[in-house]
A and B are shown apart, each in its own frame.
Chain A
């Protein structure tokens, strides 16, 4: 082994002090990362006692044709028109306020910042970035209309009952 190579090896060698210093700092880093992930997981609840996304809207006959009904507790509109039945999310796409159906104007309006939507959820005006989404609907075995608030469908897909 040449003298030059020996010097290189000595430079790369880690002293006992340096080795323990690195071990110490490294384990502190691992412990800190563990604490962070532990805290994050503790702060994210695993079980939520929130209302189920699936709503039983009752018999379709209870909604007259050409009517818009707001279910304020679940935040959805149940709309019965000539073409059929559909459910709209009533939560404004702007900042999450509950919108209201204005029967005299024939629009859905948000009281918070003035967004307006058509009966079909189409955005007409206001700061809202998107139209109100259509929600998945189906009829269960008892002939009741069911709505899944967590699943959106493309608009103009009417449920025929």
Chain B
């Protein structure tokens, strides 16, 4: 049974259609494996070779990947919420209550969006602390640290702009206070607040501007910087691991030879 399935898969992989999409084909050679990564648009920003120790839970706790996971979850749930939400003063609040009480699965999607947002902020901070205390921000990764700080700011701005959208008392006063803080910027503070709100008060213009920021401008900038962030991991020599990190028993057996080679050649880690 299994062999028949394998045969079928092998036959599909030989078809002209398949080969027109996945040009590298299959094969067990290192070159084939590298090309399978390099020639796939979704995978090409990842390193073609990864040392097993980089993928250990202890190396990163997967905090960056988990942050990306929450971001993907937020994009998916956010797009679904957009189908019921109107960013207008008479409708915004009732649309949110409709999502909670009337729309099927609306409560689940809205809560998933909200909790993922909290989780993303928490995970982004945890990721930054982890990178900081491991010293993984040091050269050659110093520029990627800066990209990471930009991504943290985008994450916080996404949280802030999303906070206004339910258009309840909490949202209104939070944005009133927050936008007044922005007017403390020297010289241009009042202008910044005026541009942010599209007026002098938290009103219809502010709701629309925050909606556009929250659903278009900030997510697009996040995707842009995430792409740079991942590409830089590859260019800066992969995920950070310390030479002195002890290998776990199970991983060590298959990797002893590889590690000794890496220790000799991997001077960039030192």
Contact = CB atoms under 8 A, between A and B. Distances in A.
Given A44-B194, A44-B195, A50 B200 contact: yes
Contacts of A25: none
A30 interface: no
Interface string B147-189: 0000000000000000000000000010011011100000000
Give the secondary structure class of B's interface.
helix
Contacts of A96: 176-177, 179-180
A156 interface: no
Interface stretch (B19-27, B201-209, B224-232): B201-209
A49 interface: yes
Interface in A45-103: 45, 48-50, 95-97
Given A43-B195, A96-B180, A50 B201 contact: yes
Nearest to B174: A112
Interface residues of B, number: 15
A96 B205 CA distance: 18
B199 to A, nearest CB: 5
Contacts, number: 30
Contact of A95 (B180, B194, B195, B200): B180
Contacts of A40: 195
Nearest to B179: A96
A154 B182 CA distance: 28
Contact of B177 (A48, A49, A50, A95): A95
A49 B203 CA distance: 9
Contacts of A49: 203-204
A97 B204 contact: no
Chain A: number of interface residues, binned into ranges: 10 to 19
B201 A95 contact: no
Nearest to B177: A95
B176 A45 contact: no
B181 A50 contact: no
Contacts of A97: 173, 176-177
A96 B198 CA distance: 17
A104 to B, nearest CB: 24
A48 B200 contact: yes
B176 A95 contact: yes
Interface in A27-52: 40, 43-45, 48-50
A48 B203 CA distance: 10
A95 B198 contact: no
B194 to A, nearest CB: 7
A114 B194 CA distance: 26
A45 B199 contact: yes
Among A43, A96, A97, A112, max chain B CB count under 10 A is at: A96
Nearest to A93: B180
Interface string B121-151: 0000000000000000000000000000000
Contacts of B180: 95-96
Contacts of A112: 173, 177
Interface string B189-221: 000001100111101110000000000000000
Contacts of B181: 95
Interface string A100-120: 000000000000100000000
A95 B183 CA distance: 10
A97 B173 CA distance: 7
Given A50-B199, A95-B181, A96-B180, A45 B205 contact: yes
Interface of B: 173, 176-177, 179-181, 194-195, 198-201, 203-205
5 contacts: A49-B203, A50-B201, A96-B176, A96-B180, A112-B177
